[in-house]
Amino acid sequence: MYGIADLDNCYVSCERVFRPDLKGVPVVVLSNNDGCVVARSNEAKAMGVKEGTPYFQLEQQFPNNKIAVFSSNYELYGELTGRVISIIRSETPAYFRYSIDECFMYLDGIELDQLKSWGERLHKRVKREVGMPISIGLAPNKTLAKIASKFAKKYVGYHHCCMIDTDEKRIKALKLFPIEDVWGIGRRYAAKLQSHGIVTAYDFATHHKDWVQLVFNNINIVRTWQELNGEDAVPNEELAKKKSICTSRSFNGMISDFDTLRTHVSNYAARCAEKLRIQNTVASTIGVFLNTNAFREDLAQYWNFQEGRLITPTNSTIPIVGAACDVLKKIYRPGYQYKKAGVIVMGVGPDSPIQQDLFDINAEQIEKMRRLDQVIDRINRLNGSETIVIGAQQYTRKDGKGKANVFANAIKHDFKSPNPTTRWSDIIKLK
């Protein structure tokens, strides 16, 4: 059997851990730069707050409601979700973290008739020890487990854990489940399926397999169809392949000068390198994109995306930042007001010890870089991120003299919560 643990309204739940007073209150978390709503509590959803609502519209739309608003605090979310994953690790035979708020679990070894109560206990443990609610779905494959977790979240009667273990339950669940919410069915495929009159997961599962193959000619869609019919078809390795990692931001205001853009891009690249190191992977291609504000039709528009290749795949900050800056140089055009930039690292593979060739003059250099990254990561972990950055990551001061803010300070976050789990200065005060 498979399981999935899904952290309910993840960012909001994280904010509530140190704010018990926000239980039962509408809470939203904003995107970087406090742009728009990216996470909502159930109360905010019930009020009609939509995902993606720009912050400045919140007050206009809900003048009579009190909504607790937070800037996103990924330092906090990363630490607290890490605790949840750590508990899951201690309770499951095997697991795979799929995203910041989802974790697949392989449950062979736990007795089938014990599974449901095991899941309920796991929820209780996470709720009590970390203070965050999770929903657990259990099923013979990953697609059905995802569906089960949605039921666990929606209906209190399941006690946060729903199991689809019989054909009867499977069919009942599929009939109630919209096709566009099925894991693996993107928006594009959902539209195509709906054009064929398919509304629920059940409608899809009862079509003939030949029809699915003929109409879509896509192995992943066929696998989804198989899983809806109870087979275990999505290979586990498929999950682990994070083919690319992206770090991008909309700027607080607009930017036209190259140096400031380069500093931003250097920071995104450094963040990508850090993400690669966290998951023990390396990248071979670095892509950079840049665009102006499409909503400002009065301004000249420009966007571009290009890639650069690394000779040796790496997860080191310095070569990745260097490659990203090289690409930026190629796509930058003066005279435009830029609104957003991003770095995408691609060709991601496992970080295996490279057989170093005697004639590769880079080999020794690479080993040195690796050690440098380890030291920097450790210092930044202990003292707060961005205690040490490379020169390219530093912003020039407003008066043009010397270097000033690092990345975190350059983002607008007026409503950021403290970091009681990662900074001694922020731990809770007890009266």
As a whole number of angstroms, the distance between CA 145 and CA 147 comes to 5
Q: Which is nearer to other proteins, 128 or 208 (CB)?
A: 128
Instruction: Rule CB under 8 A: choose which of 129, 259, 326, 414 binds other proteins.
Output: 129
Instruction: Specify which residues 40 forms β-bridges with.
Output: 28
Binding of other proteins at residue 424 (CB under 8 A)? yes
Instruction: Specify which residues 27 forms β-bridges with.
Output: 68
Binding of other proteins at residue 431 (CB under 8 A)? yes
Instruction: Rule CB under 8 A: choose which of 99, 114, 166, 356 binds other proteins.
Output: 356
Q: Contact region for other proteins (CB under 8 A) — 6-14, 67-75, 357-365, 393-401?
A: 357-365
Binding of other proteins at residue 361 (CB under 8 A)? no
Kindly write down the DSSP assignment for every residue of 172-210, as one continuous string: HHHHHSBGGGSTT--HHHHHHHHHTT--BHHHHHTS-HH
Q: One-letter amino acid identity for 410?
A: A
Site for other proteins in 258-317 (CB under 8 A): none
Quote the least distance from Cβ 86 to other proteins, whole Å.
5
Please give the structure tokens belonging to residue 150: 């949605």
185: left (phi over 0), alpha (psi -120 to 50) or beta: beta
As a whole number of angstroms, the distance between CA 97 and CA 106 comes to 11
As a whole number of angstroms, the distance between CA 94 and CA 112 comes to 16
Quote the least distance from Cβ 311 to other proteins, whole Å.
17
Please give the structure tokens belonging to residue 59: 């007050």
* Rg of the chain, C-alpha, whole Å: 24
- Helix residue spans in 229-347 (DSSP H): 236-240, 258-278, 317-331
Q: Contact region for other proteins (CB under 8 A) — 44-52, 78-86, 111-119, 372-380?
A: 78-86
Quote the least distance from Cβ 22 to other proteins, whole Å.
10
Q: One-letter amino acid identity for 147?
A: I
Quote the least distance from Cβ 353 to other proteins, whole Å.
8
Q: Contact region for other proteins (CB under 8 A) — 50-58, 128-136, 231-239, 279-287?
A: 128-136
Site for other proteins in 18-47 (CB under 8 A): 20-21, 23
Query: How many CA within 13 A on the CB side of residue 138?
Result: 24
Instruction: Rule CB under 8 A: choose which of 238, 259, 367, 414 binds other proteins.
Output: 367
Q: Contact region for other proteins (CB under 8 A) — 36-44, 205-213, 355-363, 374-382?
A: 355-363
Binding of other proteins at residue 133 (CB under 8 A)? no
Please give the structure tokens belonging to residue 274: 């850090």
Q: Which is nearer to other proteins, 21 or 297 (CB)?
A: 21
Question: Which residues contact other proteins (rule: CB under 8 A)?
Answer: 20-21, 23, 83-84, 86-87, 128-131, 355-358, 363, 367, 420-421, 424, 427-431
